Amino acid sequence: MQVDPIHQFEIKDLWPIGHLGGHEIDFTNSALFMFIIVGAVSALLIGGTAPRAVVPGRLQSIAEMSYEFVANTVRSSAGAEGMKFFPFVFTLFMFVLFANLIGLIPYSFTVTSQLIITASLALLVFLIVVGYGFWHNGLHFLNLFVPKGVPKIILPAIVVIEVLSFLSRPVSHSVRLFANMLAGHITLQVFAGFVIMLAGAGILGWFGAALPFIMVVLLTALELLVAFLQAYVFAILTCIYLNDAIHPGH
């Protein structure tokens, strides 16, 4: 049996939904999983808050915990003013978290392993930061690029470096999530491939296959952690960037 570690990231067209500029627009497995993610998040939150119990049940506890977790993150890294962006950050966090977690289920598709998805999310954050920064602070937003206490002679170079550093944010923001998910899933697939190859080699291979199998189990646990961690990192970086827009350096 041939094992192809890249196969899991293949986009498949499920059914066509129209044409745009000579290109066929298809409903893909990626789109399907995005709908599943949004459905799962909505089901968790609507179903969780429906009982409105004083003593929360299991589902309500999860919903409340996720709210408090993100709210604390936003407050601690973007301040109380950052809470106006709470719906945005919460949506991003839940979307990325569920995309990562659902992607761990065998035979499912990992939406966040597509660079275009993470780049779109990071660009959305970037554009909101720039748009809100200029709307809220006017041209004072540009003070972000002028650090205090720098000698006048090297200031132009510093400003260019700061601007480049600012422009590189969406790149690192998106690539980090994408690369983590891609690398993790390829590693899992490669080790799972070892299991299959060794098991196909006869009775001795069965014993050999136990080793990569243990590895797969451990890696799955690690990937579960990475899935959560990366969603958290994505959310906290969003908060830090929004903080720039709310209070740029004076």
Partner 1 sequence: MSDARENGERDKQRTNEAALSARLQRLNEGLGQIHTAGEPSDSPGVDRAATASGYAKGFRLSSELVAGVVVGAGIGWLIDRWLGISPWGLIIFLLLGFAAGVLNVMRSAGLVAGTALDESTRQRRDR
For partner 1, the closer CB: 209 or 245? 245
Residue 247 engages partner 1 in binding (rule: CB under 8 A): yes
Which residue among 31, 62, 196, 240 contacts partner 1 (CB under 8 A)?
240
Task: Enter the tokens of residue 144.
Answer: 């972000």
Q: How many whole angstroms separate alpha carbon 222 and alpha carbon 226?
A: 6
6-10 long-range Cβ contacts below 8 angstroms, 24+ apart:
6/186, 8/109, 8/110, 8/185, 8/189, 9/110, 9/113, 9/114, 9/182, 9/185
One symbol per residue from 197 to 236: x for binding partner 1 (CB under 8 A), - otherwise; what is it?
------------------------xx--xx--xx--x---
- Cβ neighbours of residue 225 under 8 Å, at least 6 residues apart? none
Which residue among 154, 160, 210, 217 contacts partner 1 (CB under 8 A)?
160
Residues 38-97 that bind partner 1 (CB under 8 A): 76-77, 79
- Number of neighbours of residue 83 by Cβ within 10 angstroms: 13
Residues 115-154 that bind partner 1 (CB under 8 A): 144, 147-148
For partner 1, the closer CB: 30 or 180? 180
Strand partners, 124: none
Backbone CA torsion sign across 102, 104, 105, 107: positive
Which alpha helices (H) appear in the chain, and where do they start and end?
Answer: 29-49, 58-78, 86-103, 115-137, 155-167, 169-199, 203-246
Least separation in angstroms between CB 229 and partner 1: 5
For partner 1, the closer CB: 32 or 215? 215
**Torsion angle of the four alpha carbons 110, 116, 120, 121, in this order, in degrees rounded to the nearest 10:** 30
Least separation in angstroms between CB 85 and partner 1: 15
Least separation in angstroms between CB 129 and partner 1: 12
Least separation in angstroms between CB 170 and partner 1: 8
Residues 176-195 that bind partner 1 (CB under 8 A): 176, 179-180
Which residue among 64, 165, 200, 210 contacts partner 1 (CB under 8 A)?
165
Under the rule (CB under 8 A), what is the footprint of partner 1?
76-77, 79, 144, 147-148, 157, 160-162, 164-165, 167-169, 171-172, 175-176, 179-180, 221-222, 225-226, 229-230, 233, 240, 243-244, 247-250
